[in-house]
Structure 1
Amino acid sequence: MKIVFVIALVAIIVALFAAGRAMLRDGRDGEPKSNRMVRALALRVGLSIALFVFILVSYKMGWIQPTGIPMGQ
């Protein structure tokens, strides 16, 4: 389960870097601007939402259990 979370986080970071790279490269040297940055950011948002939903579903199905600091102390 941890591997799925790590892969999703890496994919989100890669999409963010792709958007940054597209932002820096588009429109240089008289080239027309493309939609690469918009697509990369949309992919990042979609991956983030999918990861959040996956975590919620995993909790409801019992695949993951909450751990950490006890509540009320």
Structure 2
Amino acid sequence: MTDHWIIKLFIYALMLGIVFSLGSGMYYLLFAKEQSQKTVKALTVRISLSIGLFILLFIAFAMGWIRPHNLLP
């Protein structure tokens, strides 16, 4: 079976984007003067990335591109 490294790369990129968006939302919440709009935008991006990651994981698992812990034949 071939290793689908492109899918894993997308998964890691989305996870990194989620962490970055969460950090920027925390920064805007703590230090920005116009915190409301920037915080909401950063957290909206985080939620969108999380939903996108969830959908990508479902599709990749259904297509057989990824397997959880290589347990399935």
Scaled by the length of structure 2, the TM-score of the pair is 0.76
Give a deviation string over 1:10-55, Cα, whole Å, max 9, x none. 100000011011111233xxxx554000010011011011101100
Structure possessing the higher relative contact order (Cα contacts under 8 Å, 6 or more residues apart):
2
Shift of 1:66: 2.7
Consecutive unaligned residues in structure 2, runs of 5 or more: 1-6
Larger radius of gyration: 1
Point out the structure with the larger helix share. Answer: 2
Aligned length: 66
Matches of 1:49 and 1:33 in 2, distance apart?
24
Given that 2:29 and 2:36 are in contact with CA atoms closer than 8 Å, whether structure 1 keeps it comes out as no
Q: Give, in angstroms, the shift of residue 65 of structure 1.
A: 2.0
**Misfit runs of 4+, over 3 Å:** none
Tell me the residue number matched to 1:10: 16
Percent identity, aligned pairs only, is 29
- Counterparts of 1:17 and 1:47, CA distance in 2: 14
2 CA distance for matches of 1:55 and 1:42?
20
Q: 1:45 aligns with which of 44, 47, 51?
A: 47
For the aligned residues, what is the CA RMSD?
1.9
